[in-house]
Amino acid sequence: MGAERGLDRGWDEGHRGLDVALVGATGAVGRELLGLLVDAGHPRGRIACHARRRQSLELGDRGRFEVLPADAIGRADLAFLCTPSEVSLALAPLLAERGARVVDLSSAHRTRPEIPLVVPEINGDRLDGDPRIVANPNCTTAIAALPLAALDRAARLLEAIVASYQAASGAGLAGLNALAGETRAAAGLRSAPPEASPFPATLALNVIPAVADVDGEGWSGEERKIEHELKKILGRADLVVESTTVRVPVERCHSVAVHARFARAISPAEAREVLARAPGIALTDDPHGPRPRECAGTDPVHVGRVRAGARGAGSLCFFAVGDQLRKGAALNAFQVAARLPARR
């Protein structure tokens, strides 16, 4: 990731003067956010890391950080909550009351109509009113939303059918550790005991065809989020969204196969032009890409396999891949914060 340091992600002198609280700093997303802050030149003395208990955090060649318990959070100008929903629900209003702008990466505030749910390239204008609490979207949603929003602006999206190929990192460090342990076991190595897994079945050499719990109507929590959040981010309550969410043995990039339908005809050539111009998207010509292993650790949502569908001139299919820990989580939250006013 060293080659990407110094990338302009919109973090300016004003933002570097803010006192930042990073809550849930020791998880997979928290560590990624801490890396983004350090790489953006944020002064280490202005970053307060918090987690459930006091510890220290080693972040590769970026050095060691002291982590204080969550109940020791002091005054902050900006707070990132990489915390479970129930923690975010309690913490966000408290921190906002104390004067912090809060970016919540959990699902706690996403469905509340008065709280903006933001992918800056799509609905960054929702930040113009300087909201105190901003919700960061679900990882799969953020990755699917970027190309869909660009195409929606061009040809008005009617219907999005999404099948996902979701990485282990979506279940945090526990997910990554479980996959690594199971992969060693699949290779015939059984030196270490198998890691406790957050998944309902072995993920190595397998796919698990529902992410999160499944409700009484047969839809998974992840599929409900994708439907609700796509509608909210695109500002299109009338959108038809169907998805199947599937966990696959991949480390940190989520992929989506999208079969879309638009109000007007849109050719693959026009769609590629639209996508090539859209911020945050990298278009690939690889007939067998984009692929999650090769996209890991990169910022953009990678899009390929753009082709005409079989459901009339308005139907279009594509495949998109984004780093679940970057655009799917930490990077999007960082971009949200970068667009908020750099005021105390």
CB of 85 to its own copies, least distance (A): 21
3-state secondary structure the chain: CHHHCCCCCCCCHHHHCCCEEEECCCCHHHHHHHHHHHHCCCCHHHEEEEECCCEEEECHHHCEEEEEEHHHCCCCCEEEECCCHHHHHHHHHHHHHCCCEEEECCCCCCCCCCCCECCHHHHHHHHCCCCCEEECCCHHHHHHHHHHHHHHHHHCEEEEEEEEEECHHHHHHHHHHHHHHHHHHHCCCCCCCCCCCCCCCCCCCCCECCCCCECCCCCEHHHHHHHHHHHHHHCCCCCEEEEECCECCCCCEEEEEEEEEECCCCCHHHHHHHHHHCCCEEECCCCCCCCHHHHCCCCCEEEEEEEECCCCCCEEEEEEEEECCHHHHHHHHHHHHHHCCCCC
Residue 139 falls in the annotated catalytic set? yes
Residue number with CB closer to its own copies (89 or 239): 239
> Is 169 one of the binding residues for its own copies (CB under 8 A)?
no
Structure tokens at 184: 């060693």
Catalytic residue among 49, 139, 253, 295: 139
Tokens 């282990």 identify what position? 168
> Is 319 one of the binding residues for its own copies (CB under 8 A)?
yes
> Is 7 one of the binding residues for its own copies (CB under 8 A)?
no
- Applying CB under 8 A, among 259, 270, 299, 344 the residue interacting with its own copies is 259
> Is 238 one of the binding residues for its own copies (CB under 8 A)?
no
> Total number of residues binding its own copies (CB under 8 A)?
60
Residue 317 falls in the annotated catalytic set? no
CB of 185 to its own copies, least distance (A): 8
> Is 13 one of the binding residues for its own copies (CB under 8 A)?
no
Residue number with CB closer to its own copies (55 or 183): 183
- Applying CB under 8 A, among 213, 265, 273, 343 the residue interacting with its own copies is 213
> Is 205 one of the binding residues for its own copies (CB under 8 A)?
yes
From 73-81, 83-91, 139-147, 244-252, give the range in contact with its own copies by CB under 8 A: 244-252
> Is 208 one of the binding residues for its own copies (CB under 8 A)?
yes
> Is 64 one of the binding residues for its own copies (CB under 8 A)?
no
- Applying CB under 8 A, among 106, 177, 197, 255 the residue interacting with its own copies is 255
Catalytic residue among 254, 295, 302, 317: 254
Residues facing 260 on adjacent strands = 160, 316
> Is 309 one of the binding residues for its own copies (CB under 8 A)?
yes
Q: What amino acid positions are annotated as catalytic residues?
A: 139, 254
Please report, as ranges, the residues that interact with its own copies according to CB under 8 A: 159, 161, 163, 165, 179, 183-184, 186-189, 200-202, 204-210, 213-214, 217-220, 227, 240-242, 244, 246, 248-251, 255, 257, 259, 268, 287-294, 304-311, 315, 317, 319
